[in-house]
Chains A and B, each alone.
Chain A
Amino acid sequence: MTATYWNALIGGAMIGLATALLLVMNGRIAGIIGIFIKVLRFRGSELFVNIAFVAGLLLGPVAYLWWFGQWPVAEFRMPLAFMAIAGLLVGYGARMGSGCTSGHGVSGLARLSPRSIAATATFVGAGIVTVLLMRLAEML
């Protein structure tokens, strides 16, 4: 197995550990969009706890930079207009579907929630079709 897959397993385990700790200690689901919405609204009894989570999330890659001396690889090939449309869809869709890759994909699958299994299958399926259509459009 290549280093990429080992890093994937290690990084995944860290994400899983964060999810498990937040549940066992604080009794909360580690759903990024849900936590972020509460920070955006800037209210709620756990506001500062949620802000602390988002602050940690932002500093995670900074810790990576400090440790490894460089940012993790990130390639952006899409035009900014596409990023804007995608951002709108992701924000609106995650709100409407009550969750994103973390809440449904990690927390939800881990507790075998039928709702989260349906959501994850739907967004992965929609994603596969979208990438396929974009590939076909490029060929034309």
Chain B
Amino acid sequence: MAGAPTRLVVAFICGLLFGGGLAISGMLNPERIRGFLDIFGDWDPTLMFVLASAVGVAAVGNLIRSAMSTPLLDTAFHMPPRTEIDRRLLVGSALFGIGWAISGLCPGPALASIARDVSPIYVFALAMIAGILIHGDETSETAKPSDS
């Protein structure tokens, strides 16, 4: 693929923007995440501002995409294949939400904080990798090539 080296540069810049955005927005602070979920206590609405802003800008990207037949650097868009709301989606998301609330961390902030010397991050990240490995590959996903 001719665009591959350019895609690599784009991906790096996107990662940098993503990690920098998490840092600037305060989302690398687990207590801010937990504060957002603490609606019956000392509620911290910061995450709502971050999410609204991120979704707003991403929605513009989505509008631009809808006018394009292919992305600029690849031959096709790689969109998630599934559309059904099933038990797996809901149970998985619920488990994710419990872990997210206990730690105040999700995969993005956890990975973005790896360069920092804080042991709770290492423990969380290693356990997260273990969780991914325990789940293993999905049969439905290995059966057909999926890039979601």
User: Contact: B85 with A96, CB < 8 Å?
Assistant: no
User: Contact: B97 with A123, CB < 8 Å?
Assistant: yes
Chain B interface, >50% SS class: helix
How many inter-chain contacts with C-beta < 8 Å in the A-B complex? 475
User: Contact: A95 with B58, CB < 8 Å?
Assistant: no
User: Contact: B50 with A11, CB < 8 Å?
Assistant: yes
Counting chain A CB atoms within 10 Å of each CB, the highest count among B93, B101, B102, B135 belongs to B93
Candidates B13, B34, B60, B99; contact of A85 at CB < 8 Å: B99
Candidates B24, B80, B148; contact of A11 at CB < 8 Å: B24
With A30-B18, A95-B131, A127-B37 already in contact, the answer to whether A106 and B95 are too (CB < 8 A) is no
A117-136 CB mask vs B (1 if < 8 Å, else 0) is 01110111111101110110
User: Contact: A54 with B14, CB < 8 Å?
Assistant: no
Q: Could you name 20 residue pairs across A and B whose Cβ atoms are closer than 8 Å?
A: A4-B26, A8-B46, A10-B53, A11-B53, A13-B54, A16-B53, A24-B64, A25-B10, A33-B107, A53-B12, A58-B112, A72-B26, A87-B130, A90-B128, A104-B93, A110-B59, A115-B89, A120-B93, A127-B100, A132-B40
Residue positions of B touching A, CB distance < 8 A:
1, 4, 6-31, 34, 37-41, 46-47, 49-62, 64-65, 68, 70-74, 76-80, 82-85, 88-108, 110-116, 118-120, 123-135, 147-148
Residue positions of A touching B, CB distance < 8 A:
4-5, 7-34, 36-37, 40, 45-46, 48-50, 52-64, 71-78, 80, 82-107, 109-111, 113-115, 118-120, 122-128, 130-132, 134-135
